[in-house]
Amino acid sequence: MARQVCCADRAWLLADERQTRPHESQMSIDLDTVRKAARLARIAIPEERLPALQGELNGILAWIEQLQEVDISGVAPLASTVAMQLPMREDLVADGFQAAAVVRNAPKAEDDFFIVPKVVE
């Protein structure tokens, strides 16, 4: 019997299929760690919301544990899903030929160079 679930429920369903709960996994986050992560992220989370957030984070860790179980030996690293090469151009050293335009908005300039105040004695 299939039922529709939202994304947050998928980790729980997957964990139930494996007969384990995400918070019982090897990687687990406790409430103190959730508080610390929220403080470091400068997120104000009400105390009553912490257990739900803990469950969500432990669900994410359960997904990571499941991914670690996948045998990837013999799989080449992938940088792109599309096999293509970028067009190559000749590598020329140039100043862009726009030095005057670049320094036009500078507060001070001399001979196409920016003039800045001395900061090191």
List, for residues 10-66, the tens digit of each pLDDT value.
Answer: 444 444 444 444 444 577 899 999 999 999 999 999 999 999 999 999 999 999 999
Residue with tokens 């001070």: 108
* Mean pLDDT rounded to a whole number for the chain: 80
More confident residue, 50 or 4: 50
More confident residue, 57 or 80: 57
- 3-state SS class at 109: strand
CA distances from residue 75 to 13, 63, 72, 84 in whole angstroms, order as listed? 28, 20, 5, 19
**pTM, whole model, 2 decimals?**
0.45
Structure tokens, 23: 């918070």
Whether 39 is in a domain gets the answer yes
Whether 38 is in a domain gets the answer yes
Domain that holds residue 17: 7-68
* Number of domains, the chain: 1
- Phi, psi (5° rounding) for residue 113? -125, 150
Q: Does the pLDDT at position 82 exceed 80?
A: yes
61 touches 34 (CB < 8 A): no
Whether 97 is in a domain gets the answer no
- Confidence category of residue 93, pLDDT binned at 50, 70, 90: confident
- 3-state SS class at 82: coil
